[in-house]
Amino acid sequence: MKHFIAFFTLGMLLNGIVDAQETSTGVVSGNMSVLFQSYQEDSIIGAVVPPSKSGFNAYSNIIYTQGNFSSGFRYESYLNSVLGFPGRFKGSGIGYRYARWSDPEIGVDVTVGNFYETFGAGVLLRSYEERNLGLDNAMDGVRLLLSPIDGINVKMVYGKQRLDFDSRLINSDGIVRGVDVEVSLNDIIPALKDSKLKVIPGYSFVSRFQDGGNIVKDTLILELPENVAGWEYGTTVHYGMWKGGIGLTKKINDPSADNGYIYKEGEALMYYLTGNIKDLTFLFQRSTTDNMSFRSDRDLLLFDAPINNIPAITKPHTYNLAATLYPYATVINGESSFRGELYYRLKRGSKLGGKYGTKMNIVFATSYSLDTTHLSGVDGVVYGYQRNSWGLGDSLNVQDISFEIERKFSKTFKAKAMYMNLIFNTLATPVTTDYKGLVNANIYVLETQIRTNKRQSLRTEFQVLTTGKWRDVEGELIKQDKGDWATVVAEYTWSPHWFANITDQYNFGNPDEAKRVHYLFGSAGYVNGSHRLSIGYGKRREGIFCVGGVCRAVPASNGLEVTFTSSF
């Protein structure tokens, strides 16, 4: 608890100091976050107490800006890290630092030290941070951004990637080099200057250097490549309210722990179209990725040192049962997927739309295995398989169909309802060890918000998840996986400063009656501008937490949780 108090005090002091920092010498800004969690044993949900009996994650970014120059650092502290985050993160120190100079007038932007960068959609290179996952693959080196003439933007990066933290930044072994070029043809070609059609082609190249070596597979001794390169061609097209794009990515052979050290080349093809037709908005997206895992260290797994990121095809749900029980993670060794979305708004004042209008949307997303043929003999050992087409394979990874309708009924009451049908393959995304195969689930959600008084409101969520049935070893029909769930959320807000909420997640349909547990968690907090303090207590179930197709395992816990965030 003393670490939380120290960081809370530091945040208040920094906020008071920087209020008057905008002078001719520059501006100081930043933010900070603290997460403290205590643990107590709970044998019913499988919660264990670590030796430290508590976890503490904290960081603070301090940024100085003067004219075209800026610099900053991030101070981090893991004493010890909260369960579910990388346990090897430990100690306190500087985990991110940089200096940057940019001049838009001459089209030059230079960064030395740490930075984040994305080429295109990130299929070839995406350096980013997702703190809730404990993922941070920040580059450490040099980045150069150039705009030599109007319509041409060039990015060049050279450095290593963050891998670990032990009272200091620790980088992975590999060296990453890359260049990305984006061209606006409308700015380059005078005849297209005023055209409604905007065409923006792009090209990216990324390579990784890592000391090689040999690997023994069966009776073969194979040499590991030291330099692995990938490149991407893509084009984005705009026309009024319509937008589309296509990208083709290729990567040379990259034997790694992800693919079982095979020498097959990687490929990805992605394209999409989105637009508006009166009150209708739509999105069509299609992608096939084949052996596109790319890391700065070939021997690592999970979310350690990824060079690229392949986003999940499914909708990023926000409701508890839809988002946390069966979250889909991209199958990085290969999948073929499709996503379609339709959004429609019934006009205000119409018979169906009501006084304030009504919003509706339907989303369909599915992912399958690749259409492949497994090779045999020496070819099978070296290359593993061959892909027959860009089409769908035989094995379903996930199918997610959801429908939402939202309506404001009066100045004090509005509601949203959602229905979701989910078919989820736990062999493709192993979110559970108790059940292997397809889970068929239906999820129903009703969310309401009532303004009870001036600046006061009550928001509620009622959620139910039901699953299909399967036959156990004795032939009896029982619910799939952990069976049926229900969640109730109630949150009361006294604007602009206070809030309180309670959440109860109940596994009422678990085949094991001893595990039909209420996961009850309550919290309250105070908000003042950009500062937020929250204190909560209760049970968290074991599961998988995902963001953007990347997941981490979260152990069951029972105890106190304190969070504080601030920006200044």
Q: Place 527 in a pLDDT band, splitting at 50, 70 and 90.
A: very high
**Tens digit of pLDDT for each residue in 356-367?**
999 999 999 999
pLDDT of residue 14: 45
Q: Place 11 in a pLDDT band, splitting at 50, 70 and 90.
A: very low
**Tens digit of pLDDT for each residue in 170-204?**
999 999 999 999 999 999 998 888 899 999 999 99
Inter-residue contact 124 to 206 (CB < 8 Å): yes
Least confident of 104-118, 219-233, 477-491, 542-556: 542-556
Q: Quick one: average pLDDT of 75-104?
A: 92
Closest by CA position to 91, among listed 53, 59, 131, 61: 59
- The CA distance from 183 to 167, in Å, is 42
- The CA distance from 178 to 136, in Å, is 19
- The CA distance from 83 to 36, in Å, is 11
- The CA distance from 336 to 271, in Å, is 12
Residue 162 pLDDT exceeds 60 = yes
Residue 548 pLDDT exceeds 90 = no
pLDDT of residue 20: 43
pLDDT of residue 8: 44
**Tens digit of pLDDT for each residue in 333-349?**
999 999 999 999 998 88
pLDDT of residue 84: 84
**In sequence order, which residues have a C-beta less than 8 Å from that of residue 326 and are 6 or more positions away?**
422, 424, 429, 431, 439, 441
Q: Quick one: average pLDDT of 310-314?
A: 91
Task: Determine how β-strand 550-554 pairs with β-strand 213-217.
Answer: unpaired
Q: Quick one: average pLDDT of 289-314?
A: 92
Structure tokens at 204: 């990216």
- The CA distance from 178 to 296, in Å, is 13
More confident residue, 352 or 229: 229
Kindly report the average pLDDT of the chain as a whole number: 90
Predicted TM-score of the model (pTM): 0.88
- The CA distance from 545 to 134, in Å, is 11
As a whole number of angstroms, the longest Cα–Cα distance in the chain is 79
Q: Place 7 in a pLDDT band, splitting at 50, 70 and 90.
A: very low
Q: How many CB atoms lie within 10 A of CB 282?
A: 14
**Tens digit of pLDDT for each residue in 267-282?**
999 999 999 988 899 9
What region does 351 belong to: left with phi over 0, alpha with psi -120 to 50, or beta? alpha
